[in-house]
Amino acid sequence: MKSTIFFSVTGMLVSLAASQPHGPHHHHVKRQAQRKVVQTTTAIAIVDAPQVVIYVDSQGKPVSTTTRNGQPPSTPAPLPNPAPVPAPAPAPAPAPASPVDQQNGSPQGSAPPTQQNNPPAAEGSVSTGPGFKSGVSYSPYNGDNSCKSADQVAKDFTKISGYQVIRLYGTDCNQVANVLAATEGSNMKLFLGIFNIAEVQKEAEIISSAVRGDWSRVNAIGVGNELVNQGTNPGTVIGAIGQARGALQRSGYSGPVVTVDTMVAMVDHPELCTASDFCAVNCHAFFDGKVTADKSGDFVKGWVDKISEATGKTVVITETGWPSQGDTNDVAVPSLENHKAAISSIEEAFSNNVIYFSAYNDMWKKNRPGTFNAEQFWGIMGDAPSA
């Protein structure tokens, strides 16, 4: 089941249409670029549809969005736009030069970012955690929000190459087993996700069952997506990290366990990094509204340096990108040209430890004014082959 979250913000009323699940991310989606004090009252209603959750400041300007994955969260993990319950969220995605589909304007059949056009690192690159060159997020959902079949997932991965890490946001839709099968024989490892921290043990068991004892193909495991950014108590998230680590270790996993959150949440709550094996951060320049696409790399790098200084830990960017369609957010303009410019800028700023959002346009999401009608259009390679 997917879940939709309705909320009210002091000083204004935000009305959203239900929607939504890469798990997250999405984002993912997302993002707070400035700290604002927002009072919220949250009520959760469970419906049979995925969702995108939008967080706004007191002036009604979006500061963060996330998508929700398959499992209904007890507390709201990416959603981009980018992850499903989707949780789906988070949240938001890059792309290199490529032909454009004249019907929808999204990049079609493009190669991974420039650095991805180089041969993948030899011998599978890094075994676990930081040190990989680049990755991309993937969500296994059809445009009608149904789960993609194993054959559809396999078809999608015929176009995904050159990346060392694939990020998933949850365990619904048999996505762990399907993506493991689709990437078998490649150098790609998976950054897996436990989306619903109310069901850590259950999701850990699903992951363990899918890998069937071969943990060598897992780069890291994330617990939650942007939960503190959405209002969850940091202590609750830290407790879930410990629970997940214990459950996974009992199944034979000894790799990194982290929580993923926004750049602002990580700076405000460095204890999230302390409890994690490295800092896993979603960071999107587009949602800042004061950064042009060609400066995306500087924006993301600035946050990485700030978080690293505050925590003393290695930082992995788990979502970053730029939409190819949508509405303008001040100086941030969605377009295919800017989409490419943003990815090029990020490539120049980073030689490793970056996961782009996302592999394909997420047509299962719903575009809305609150996220600049860009929710669907972060895909590096345009529409998925299985669409």
Taking the C-alpha atoms of residue 254 and residue 271, their distance in angstroms, rounded to an integer, is 21
CA angle 218, 191, 180 (to 5 degrees): 55
Q: Tokens for 212?
A: 């069937």
Nearest residue to 321 via CA among 350, 285, 292, 374: 285
Q: Give how far the C-alpha of residue 79 lies from the chain's centroid of Cα atoms, to the nearest Å.
A: 6
Cβ atoms 90, 25 nearer than 8 A: yes
Taking the C-alpha atoms of residue 373 and residue 380, their distance in angstroms, rounded to an integer, is 17
> Looking at 203, 319, 347, 375, which residue is catalytic?
319
Task: Note if 184 is an active site residue.
Answer: no
Q: Which residues are catalytic?
A: 319
